[in-house]
Amino acid sequence: MNILLKSATVFDPKSTHHKKTVDVLIENGLISKIDNSINCPQNCEEINLENLTISNGWFDASVSFGEPGYEDRETIENGIQVAAKSGFTQIGLNSNCYPFTDSKSMVNYLKTKASGSPVTIYPIGSLTKKSEGKEIAELYDMQQAGAIAFNDYKKGIKNANLVKIALQYTQSFGGLVMSYPNNCNISGEGIVNEGISSTHLGLKGIPALAEELQVSRDLFLLEYTGGKLHIPTISTAKSVALIKEAKSKGLQITCSVSADHLTITDEELKSFDANYKIAPPLRTQSDVEALIEGLKEGTIDFITSDHDPIDIENKKLEFSNAIDGSIGLESLFVSLQETLGLELIIEKLTTIPQTIFGLKTSTIKEGEKANISLFTTKGTGTFTLNNILSTSTNSAYLGKKTTGKVYGTYNNGILTLA
């Protein structure tokens, strides 16, 4: 599809057109011309969007859909449309399905299912077979098929020796091990952050210690073995400090944070709304401030939506019985602008995460493949059910303020508008 983006402000520090308002002509999937004013040629659609800004396509490294196995939560087909309309051109797809993504055949299935779509899917394979934490999965074969990392999604691995072996083994082919930061023995039957809010509400708490012990253990293992380790969705101030210290030692350690943990605290739990039941649990305001500072100083490498659709039968229950999880693709950009600012958001959604996962980075210049997110930084509003595109509606951000708007994406020769 050939398109002409009119009066688009480019936000790409690597581009000579950075912060300039130009016309961008895209033909056969490539950026063919960038100029102050371009006339629309034949067989080309002119796109005029109010206060349009464009950047390199956003990458979300933690997305779950459900298919196969949980299609009632989200199908791959609809999930791809949700991602594209939310500004994402590339996603890391978690092994949060059944059967688990723990083999070469499952990686191939997911890539085939998403081929020819406006969003490029990069499967994240299970670290262990069936994500049971007992035996290493087919890591090398999965990487050869296209898996970009290995993680037992939302499951802290109890066996430290298994993580040690995984870190040693993956060095032979440059694999990236991900380890979810939760010590199951400490978190026990807790369902929310242990603190003043959990005590007032009479809810079983998960102490910050459960996360920090696991982070500390994995960092000791990494220092012993070498290799590459990524810790997804950290949520406490102490975790930031531990990872900052590890980076100062030169360890190959990276980490991420979810948008919800940058914008919402455990104060929201007083409503007993199960949409606020997520993992890791929502923490305190001081934790949120430490996470934001960790992003700004570079200790935290990137942001994810941690998009996790849960069907209404498993979410609209008493708080203690509901399944953890919140969708986040639709709300990520509009929730963070006031907190982080555009420059930091784009940095944490583009070059840095792509580099960590070994993906090709692009820039907005003539001759490059068009991999573009379209949005505006203008306007405010409230995030409501009308803003949700997912099959499931379990959003922790419902009812909260938004800034800006996502228009859509252009990727793989396909324009997708919200």
Query: pLDDT per residue over 362-393, tens digit each?
Result: 899 999 999 999 999 999 999 999 999 999 99
Here the tokens at position 114 are 């998403």
To 10 degrees, the CA torsion angle through 63, 373, 234, 169?
Answer: 60
Q: In 176-322, which ranges are E strands?
A: 177-178, 192-193, 205-206, 229-231, 253-258, 302-304
Q: Which residues have a catalytic role annotated?
A: 306
The per-residue pLDDT for 1 is 87
Which one-letter DSSP state was computed for residue 307? Answer: B
To 10 degrees, the CA torsion angle through 395, 397, 402, 404?
Answer: -50
- What residue segments make up the domains of the chain, in order of their start? 3-53+365-417, 57-356
Here the tokens at position 54 are 């464009």
The per-residue pLDDT for 330 is 98
Strand order in the sheet with 253-258: 58-63, 88-93, 120-125, 149-150, 177-178, 229-231, 253-258, 302-304
Output the DSSP codes for 339-371.
Answer: HH-HHHHHHHHTHHHHHHTTPPP--SSTTSB--
Q: Which residues of the chain have pLDDT under 70?
A: none
The per-residue pLDDT for 233 is 98
The per-residue pLDDT for 386 is 97
The per-residue pLDDT for 188 is 96
Domain 3-53+365-417 coded CATH 2.30.40.10: yes
The contacts of residue 390 (CB under 8 Å, 6+ apart) are: 74, 78, 79, 82, 307, 309, 327, 329, 330
Distance CA 35, CA 23 (A): 5
The per-residue pLDDT for 361 is 87
The per-residue pLDDT for 132 is 97
Asked whether 243 and 255 are in contact (CB, 8 A), the reply is yes
End-to-end Cα spacing for the chain:
17
The pTM of the full predicted model, rounded to 2 decimals, is: 0.96
**Burial grade of 250 (CB within 10 A; 0-12, 13-18, 19 or more):** exposed
Here the tokens at position 22 are 């130009």
Q: What dotted CATH number matches 57-356? A: 3.20.20.140
277: closest CA among 294, 302, 260? Answer: 260
Here the tokens at position 133 are 């934490």
Output the DSSP codes for 171-208.
Answer: TTTT--EE-----HHHHTT--EESSHHHHHHTPPEE-H
